């Protein structure tokens, strides 16, 4: 009798993952510092400058032939267009939350994202759940009910963030083997670029654009939004090649935890008892889900 152990995370993979999730966790502060730009201007520049960063990367790594070859697969191009719409919904909702004092609700959205991913697996991929996974889902539903009663309204920001990112992840999982991170982000940004130009035009005609009118640091910050968009996605792609998915799943909680800390202790968002109760119930659901995940991944003895 001997046991066959699954490979653990590499040190470089762990550093890549920590880098990605640390950047994502600090993004609310970054967006707050971009005031007086509003959420719609920030997201538009975020997409446009992310596209520029991708273009530079494709040039540096001589990846243009491989990127152009993607257009020989029209179905893949269309799926990436849908992925672009979903990530736009996610980004726009997230930046609105970050710039309007609702970071805690955004944090909640990413805490419940693993639960949404499980639901999509059940209803879309027809996956079967283990008992503890059903228990976790039930507890999460209770959390939404508690928050809805406490707020007097459904926590739409949390649900939109979790739903859009969960569905985005499902699409990316389906096309993952056919397109890498740089080409994927480039294609998604390319799909969104015309919409972002329209969005900038609308902002310019109404509230006015802040780009190049609020000083050099502010302009650099809006340009940098493209960098902080592309960098964590590329770090995550590198981490996913070097780490088992189960370890990435554990590290991903770093982002909403950091968002929670930023919202409560740095930006001073209120934490009334009903909101704290809702978060506590979600954390219990995640503990149950984690226990189930660890039990399912426990190596089994094999006969040699």
pLDDT at res. 2 = 42
pLDDT at res. 92 = 95
pTM (predicted TM-score): 0.84
Q: Is 215 helix (H, G, I), strand (E, B) or coil?
A: coil
**Alpha carbons 301 and 278: distance in angstroms, whole number:** 40
Count of domains observed in the chain: 1
**Alpha carbons 256 and 268: distance in angstroms, whole number:** 16
pLDDT at res. 27 = 92
Range of the domain at 254: 2-302
Question: Which uninterrupted H or E stretch holds 183?
Answer: helix 181-205
Question: Which uninterrupted H or E stretch holds 122?
Answer: helix 113-123
- Per-residue confidence of the chain (304 residues) as pLDDT tens digits? 444 444 455 677 788 888 888 998 899 999 999 999 999 999 999 999 999 999 999 999 999 999 999 999 999 999 999 999 999 999 999 999 999 989 988 988 888 877 787 777 777 777 777 788 788 778 877 887 887 877 677 889 989 998 998 888 888 777 877 888 889 899 999 999 999 999 999 999 999 999 988 999 999 999 999 999 888 878 877 776 676 655 666 677 788 888 888 888 898 888 888 888 888 888 888 788 778 767 766 654 433 3
**Alpha carbons 108 and 162: distance in angstroms, whole number:** 9
Q: Is 302 helix (H, G, I), strand (E, B) or coil?
A: strand
Contact (Cβ atoms closer than 8 angstroms) between residue 74 and residue 252: no
pLDDT at res. 4 = 45
pLDDT at res. 301 = 40
Contact (Cβ atoms closer than 8 angstroms) between residue 234 and residue 12: no
């Amino acid at each position: 009798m001997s046991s066959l152990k699954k490979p653990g995370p590499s040190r470089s993979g762990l550093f890549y993952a920590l880098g990605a999730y640390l950047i994502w966790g600090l993004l609310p502060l970054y967006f707050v510092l971009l005031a007086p730009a509003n959420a719609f201007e920030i997201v538009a520049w975020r997409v446009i400058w992310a596209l520029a960063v991708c273009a530079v990367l494709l040039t540096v790594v001589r990846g243009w032939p491989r990127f152009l070859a993607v257009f020989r697969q029209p179905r893949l191009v269309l799926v990436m267009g849908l992925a672009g719409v979903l990530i736009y919904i996610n980004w726009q909702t997230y930046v609105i939350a970050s710039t309007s004092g609702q970071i805690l609700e955004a944090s909640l959205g990413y805490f419940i994202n693993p639960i949404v991913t499980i639901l999509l697996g059940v209803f879309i991929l027809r996956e079967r759940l283990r008992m503890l996974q059903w228990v976790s889902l039930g507890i999460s539903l209770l959390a939404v009910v508690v928050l809805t009663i406490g707020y007097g309204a459904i926590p739409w920001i949390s649900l939109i963030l979790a739903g859009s990112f969960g569905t985005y992840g499902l699409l990316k999982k389906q096309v993952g083997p056919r397109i890498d991170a740089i080409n994927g982000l480039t294609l998604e940004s390319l799909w969104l670029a015309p919409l972002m130009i329209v969005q900038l035009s609308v902002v310019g005609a109404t509230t006015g654009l802040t780009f190049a009118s609020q000083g050099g640091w502010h302009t650099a910050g809006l340009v940098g939004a493209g960098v902080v968009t592309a960098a964590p996605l590329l770090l995550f792609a590198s981490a996913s090649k070097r780490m088992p998915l189960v370890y990435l799943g554990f590290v991903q909680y770093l982002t909403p935890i950091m968002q929670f800390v930023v919202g409560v202790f740095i930006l001073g968002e209120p934490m009334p008892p009903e909101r704290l109760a809702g978060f506590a119930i979600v954390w219990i659901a995640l503990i149950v889900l984690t226990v189930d995940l660890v039990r399912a991944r426990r190596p089994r003895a094999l006969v040699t």
